[in-house]
Structures are given as C-alpha cells and as structure tokens.
Structure 1
C-alpha cells in the first residue's frame, strides 16, 4: 500500500469510527487506537501535501452561499461525438494509440489549483459558462483540497453518486422530493447552496482530463497516472492496443460495463480518445464537441413512468397525431415528458390507457419513444370521436405507411379545421419562407373554406382551379394572375427558405441558414444526414441546441411529414442563393460570428444577416461563448447585452459596425 492509498484507507476508517461514535453511540476502537491512526494520517498529509476533502483532519467547515455565481471557462468544456457502433470506434482509432475509459453518468466539474491549493470549482454549464460550486467541494467524499504541485493545474471530471447510495438516500426522502436518476440527484446536490445537503448525498469525483498543466507529459494515460500520484481519484482508464479489432473492443467494453455494475458506479457508455495529447489538440473541435474522442453509448435503456394523457393534434392534412404525455423521466441529462404515438394502430397495439405504467427509451440517442405498456390487457382503447381543436366528428381510415403496411389513422372531417391551419399557410407563404406575394391570411381563409387548400402542396395546384378562384368574393382575373405568378416564382427557392417553410418547430431564419451553410446549400446532403445510420448532431452547429436537434428528428419521424416533404420536393426546385461576386470577395468578418440586437436604421434584420454574410461572417441568433461581435442597435435586448458583458464579447454600436464595413 503506497502513501496515497494509505491516506485513503485512514480517512475511510477514521470516518467510519466517527460515524459509529457520534451517530450510533458505539466505539469500534479505543481512543488510543483512534488517536494513533489520526496522528498517522496527519503525518502522511504533511509529508505528501495531500489533504482530502473528507479527511477528519480537515477543519475548513461548510459555508453556505445565497447564490451560485457564474464562471467563464477559458477552455470550453465541450461534449463528445456519440455512436452506438463498435465498428465506428475501430474506424475512429485507426492505427493511432488510444485509450478507453468509463463514460460516467453525473455532472461535469472543473477544479482549479494554484500552487497546490484548490481555488475554484465550477460546473460545465453550457460549456462556455458554469456555476461556481467551490463552497461545496469540502463536502465531496474524495476531492483533494491541497496537492503537492507548484503552478497552475486545471482538471475536469465527473461528480456522481454510487447507485447503492442513490437507492438508499432516495428511499429516505419524501415521495414528492425523490429523484428520478443518479445523475439528477448528483446535479441537484452539487448545485445546492448549503454544503450540508451535498455532504449528506455522498458525492464522489473522478478526474478524466487535464485542462491546464502537465505540459511536458504528452500521453493522456500518463497524465491520468500523474493525477493519481497527486491524490486525485481518476476515471478508470485502459490503453487500447494499436490494431485492436471489433471483437477486442467489444470484450473491453463488456468488461467495463460489468465492473461498473459491480462497483455501483453509474455509467452510460465508454469513451475512446487518442492517447497523444498534441495530436488530440490538432484534431480541433466543432461548436459542440472535440474531435479527439468518441463516446460509445450502450443500447437504449428503458425508463419506467406513468402515462398521464394522450393528446391528439390535428396536422395540416387533417390527420390527428396522438402524443403520449407522461411523468418526467431524465435520459442522457434531458427531461422527457412526451413522445409521439404515431397512429391509431400503434395506440391499439400497446393497449394504452391513462394511468398505465409505460417504458420509455430515447431511440438512437435522439427521439423519445414509448416501447412497452406494463399494464396492457385492458382492451377497449378509447379513440376520440371528436376533433379536440374544432369539435368536428372524426373518422378512422386505413392507409399504407412507409413500409407498405396498412395502418389505421384518425382524421378530422372538417377540411378547414381551425385557425392553426391558416397560420401554418401564412408561415409557409411568408417572405422569409416561400415568399408568395398575395397569399395573405384573408385569401388563405377563403381558399381553405372553398376546399382548395388542405396542405402546402395544394398551393402548387391552384392553377387547376382558375374558374373557382375567380368566382370567389374579392377575386378577379388580375388578382388571380398575380397570385399564380407569385406561386410559380416561389417554386424556385433556396434551401434555407424551404427548410423554414415546412414549419419544423423552432427552426427559424437563423437556424435554417446555419444548416444550409453547413451543407453547402445542398438539400440532398441534408436528407442523407437525416436518413444516415449514424444520427447527424445538429447541436454541433452554431446556435442550435438540443431541443431543435430533437425537433428536426421528431419531425422526420412522422410519415405524414415525410410524405409532404417528398411531394413538395417534386414541385419545388431548390437552387443556390444568388451571391454578389464582388461582395463575396470581402472577408473582413471572415469566420466571425456576429449577433445583432435592436433596430439598425435603414436595415431589416434579414438585410443585416446578408450584410454579415457578404463580408465573410456568420449571423448568429443568440450570444454564446463562441460569439465574436455583438452589434447593438436601438432598443437592444438587455439579456444579450448582459450575456456579452459577462463573457467579455466584443460589442459595437450599429454605427461603428457599419462604418467598419464602409457602409
């Protein structure tokens, strides 16, 4: 047993004796034995310079705070690219030396040390900014407060709760205060204002990366070994032999999974990274993850919850899509409360009733899905006979799904079902979408009432109804010709406008342009990414978060939407955007992300976005750690300005910005 192992052993034993003495009125050892062990621990701490947070010699105490201050991360704490294929791991490694370690399921924490003393602890937050949790570190079970290291050392790792502690602690909490997962409990405890809460939850820490320090050590494996010698508990890590095949990796991952289960450590996968630190840095990063590693996720896990409602939402075609609403479950750090049920056949197959216990998964790490009904067998599934939106009668029709199999679907019989349909057409015809002049709200309502519009594709068949349209109140030959001319013009559009038009929730002007830029305005490349075996990670793109990423995949998971997309693609030509060649050569803002807040005189927001792009920049929608410039116009948004100030983002008035671009 080396000195660090001896320190850990003595801390554990002495705390065990203290617990028995103070809380259970028991004395496992005599005072003489306790004092001798205590003195030996203190001697070892002095010799090594290592003092653990839970050491009985530590009298720092626990000071609560009234709020959690925000902390900027000088080096972004990004996520990992993910896969569920071992074959992907083999391709990723190639002929490069690599390591594999536990993918801990907890909360990422950064620890900073100056000349051997802990000076700061912060959560990962959004990667650019986290919460200051320094006050809680003395309440952790195994974080060193002092280490024998001169200079600056910054380490990131995971705070977690062992599964057996989670079950024990959760059982002792009131039913309405219990946590759904180990990760949920760890996250709440680490962010608690009162360290006593953190102390009572048995929070452990495992380091998995050196952010700053150890510059002369170029091996990740050796850096982890060096951390251990300084007293840090490190995430279990193993070297992968060059040339390891799929079978060898599968055996290693299976062993990792089994070992973690035995030890009660919560993991949800394994992480493979290059061992060479310099090579890793040269790989760079996206806005979402570093390219030096890849996370292997275990198969979709099932989470039990209770079905509280089935909502039936009417789509553009009148088809009513059922949605499950259930008690919140947390999967991969995301709170899940609803999932699509697809159609009547699916609801009947699972025999779903409100109050049933159901099992939820997050399919392909993206889309929440109801996998099983644990209370099936009741029969007589209730299908609504009235539309929940307009109250019209409903009807069940059979139609083929994408595989050619007949399924039952529920339809509202009212072809003009509610104002929501009108708003969807207004959005489709908007100038930032398909830009169909003359197709205003009043005209759309008349066309829907006349039975000429039911879904977007009908717009491109309006020429077939010339006489009917001219006969409508307020229409004539000229107004009809203007409308048709505008429809024809819209049939040739750019990818970003088409993406916005189909109305994927939260996919607005900025996000649709960001996606189009990434795929080089090639909509076929976008379609390939959606359909690919490995899910494309849209959160890697500037300004796109987890919710929009999920919305995109949920939208394309619906056969109704896919059918609409395909029919529109047959009618509409997607073209490259027109670019002023002379302006395109101006790279004053090359690669810089520029966000505009407030009103800029003489420019619409769309024109400002174009101006930024023409000068080589990227128009952002919100201020993040990756934003380079915030342009402030009249009546700016206060939250954007405050965020920019906190991040130290460069700020310019609209006048200064335009002057810089010679405008």
Structure 2
C-alpha cells in the first residue's frame, strides 16, 4: 500500500463504518472492513508521520447521536486490536514479554457495548461506548433488559462493561413479526441490538428481547489479582455467563480454545465474530498499558471469512475527499452471517483488471466480523455470453469534469467538485477537528444541496434564516447547531490547523506546529518545518504548498475563527526534557505516572535505547532492565523516583 492507496482506504473505511456503526444501516459486510482496516494499521505503523487525523484507527468508536443526553465514562472504554492468524497471535504474545503469562479467553459477541455504573448496589446509569470517553445515556432502556440487574449485592463503586445482544432465534422471530406487520426487516442481530438500545421509547427496546453479557470492568474498587477472578465475582452478582470461558496456561491452549470455539460458531445462540484473548494477571495488564487506541494486554482473534456466491450487476463510482474515484460493485444481493450484502468494494480499476471481472459475472464474496465485503474470485467458467466489460471512467460521476488517469488511481482534479467540497466541509466540522456538534454529514450535504453553503467559510455565515424551508429543522435544533458553530469560533490552534485538511498534517503534526510556532504558523519556511521532530520533506512541502495556494482563504476564515494559542507550562524538575522508560509493576497505574512525567516536560518512551535518560523499574522487570544495564542507562526504583521529584 502506498500513500494514495492508504488515503483511499481511509475514505472507504469511514464511509462504511458510519453506515454500520452510526446509522445502524449496514450497506456492506464485515470481512472487507477487517481486511482493509488491517492494511491501514500496517501502513500507519510503517509510516507514522503520514497518518491522517481522520483515520478510523484514531477512532475508538462511533459518533455520539443527539437523541440522548451525553455522559462521561469514569474510565475510558477502549477498542481492541484485531488479529487474524496464529502467526499474528504469536507476534502479539512476543510483544511485551507475554509468553510466560496465563490467558483468559471468551467469545467475542457481536452486539453493542454498554457501560453500567453501580453505586451502593444500585444501577445509576447505562451509557453506550460512544467515542470511548463520552457516550449516550440509555439508562431507561437498560432498565427494561431483564438480564441487567437493577440492584446487585455489592456496595462499592463499579463500572461493569458488557455486550448487548439479540439471540439468533429471537432475531428471526422478531423479523417474522415485522413481516406480518408490514415493517422493514432488521438487518442483522448486531445492528438490531445497537438500534434497539437507542430507541426513544423503552417499550420498543423491551420488545426486542435484548440480553447483556458482561466482559469487563472500568473504574472499580475491587482487589482481585486476576481478570478471571474479577469476572467470576461480577457474574456472581446476577449477570449472564457464557459456557465457553477458559483460562489457558500456554499458547497451545489458546490455539486449541480458538479451534473449539470456531467449531461452535453456528451452534452458539448468540452471533460471535471471534474470540477475545487477554492477559489474566491484572498487574501484568497495568504494566503493559495502552497504545493510543488499544490495550496492549488483549486482542480480538477474529474468525475466518464466510464466503458466498453472488452476481455482479453493475459498477458504481464514489469520489473521495482527495478526488480519487473508487469503483463499488453492485450485487444481486446475498445474505452472509445475517447481513444482506448488495455492495462490495473493488479498491481501484487495477483490481478489476487483476480479477478479470466483468458485469454479469458470478463471483465469490467473503465477509467476517465487522468488515466490508469483498470479491475474492470470479467464476469465469460460469459465463454465458451475457457479460460485458467494465470500462475505466473518463469523466467524474459527480461534476462531469475530465478525470486524470494515473494508472492505479483515477482522480477528479476539480477542486470545486461537489464530492470533494462536501467531504472537506464534513472533515472540518468533525469531532476530531472543529467539533461542531450537530453539523453531521447528512446536514452538511443538505445545506450544500440547497445552496446554503458552498465552502467551509459559509458555515460561519449561517443564521436562523438559512434553515427556512428545510424539512426537520425546528427551533431547538437550529439553536443547537448555531450555538455549536459559535462555540467553534475559538478552537485550540492545533485543532484549527488540523481541520484545514492539509495532506500529511494530522493532529500530532498540527500540535507540533502550534506549540513550536504559535505566532508564525502561517508563514513558516521549509527549514523551520524540517526542524520539527518527525517532519520529513513530504510533510514540509505539503504544508508549504497548501499555505501558498490557500493563504487568502485562511485569512478570510480567521475573520470568523480566532484560534487560541496553547500555552503549556511544565513543572520544572530533574525529569524535565529527559526521556524515561517505565517497566515492571509499580504501586500506581503506569498511565498515571506517565501523565505525571509528561507534566514535567519529560518524554515517556516504550523502549530502552542509548537516548534514554532513566529507567523507572518496578517489580518483575524484564528485558528492559537488562537492556538498560547493557547501555548504561540510569535505573531508579519508585522510592528514588519520588525522592527526585520532591527534591526538584
């Protein structure tokens, strides 16, 4: 995958993820998403400086809807890293010295994640995953789910996390009833569970026969040594328990458990898309910590793809934010693992040529987990003469302008193309950029189609009159949108730079620019950009070219938007400006110590090198301790660490 393929993949993933997770109306299958997502993860690991802010890997989760109040989780809800083979399982185990550990494994049910908060034994709230930090308050709906206790025999504060699911049999019966009532069928159990949890009327939620299976805890006051002990306690409080839960003492036992669970795939009453594998020791989990997106102590070992045959009827063309035209296959429709699949991604026209694909072909379609479907094979022997060639497009399907054919990529170069303009506005308003709450994709497209906005700056020219004649916009909704727009007028500088959509300049790069050159960020030269840590020539040239072409537009935009210069002040002490590595088990969570060090202006690294200044070592230190000794890095224990802080 090269950079252009990466950007195309990100655009594709975001389109399908929104349809699947946010809209609860899947327009594709699961395995294609997993496969493409995996390629994006691989590219970003190999090219961290090229990672874009709008990549789905930054995203812990789906967008928060507006129907419910929002509540913060006490402890963040994380996503899991996906693996697809024994080779990847072994690679994960080798990272972080996990080989000598015991592993806890259980089914990965395909539903909607929910966080239950109990205080003094009483259910206080039920909140969806949301973005991992803030979710939707669906407490009233959770209370009608019979498998969620309203009271538990435990008085301490605890967040209990789990999956809300619909049994396959119940799903079929619900759909049979919907046919009798003349209603649209629910797509699959996973989407039905998520949609049922978000119903404004709890009686509808109750009719959907939802179940809640706990799989973890967030903030808590428990003192258990292992995850298996903790979950045994949680399930003893009155929650459902699955009959396939294992503690494995070796990698071979994990593999064996996976093979057994895979054989039960069709027999299980709840749809599952893999097996969760995690370190059982909670102390080891604390030591391993987290990446930006995932816990390092657990993974989802996904099941292999399910494949079916279907007929390719036609090819549709999609235009992404960068102008790349992506072909999408339109099928006659096939059901795979409970999802009715009509569309498949084809990546690019070189892929069509590689497959030798023609309209009217019978094809093999695969799907697994939460992934977009894809065509893996063409049954050419089944051709009957009705097939026709797929021609490379010469004109943009959105604006009609002539396309640039670069071989692998075909691109619309018209900067005024609707598809490109709308995507840029959507990106600008998104949560990771200007965070204009309520100004989502559909509303932006509606405003554009009705001539209310034609560029980013037009967002700030909207008033109450702009919504006249638009269906569904009542006074409260209009007020909320205009208020969110007004709030966005004073963003942190790094968010504003990020929102401009400069190629290669994601959130991390924007922060470095904002912190290093807060007063001169608009007029930087190449040497100044290259002096920033992690900046290469491609990033610098992309930034300079963007500023050259768009300078006047940015100045005009800043008549409405006044970015705030971020003044970060560090507490000076002996660790300021130093590089520290943490290893072993400490008396405090590793993340807490990391944040403390960063508040001193220190850099916390995950690996020991000759550039490391200190190794903070706790109990059961492993290879990092030995490497620090060999490199002559100063090693301190927790008592020495506290002494140095106090002296500072």
Normalising by the residue count of structure 1, what TM-score does the alignment of the two structures yield? 0.48
Larger radius of gyration: 1
Q: Which structure ranks higher in relative contact order (CA pairs < 8 Å, sequence separation ≥ 6)?
A: 2
Q: What TM-score, normalized to structure 2? A: 0.49
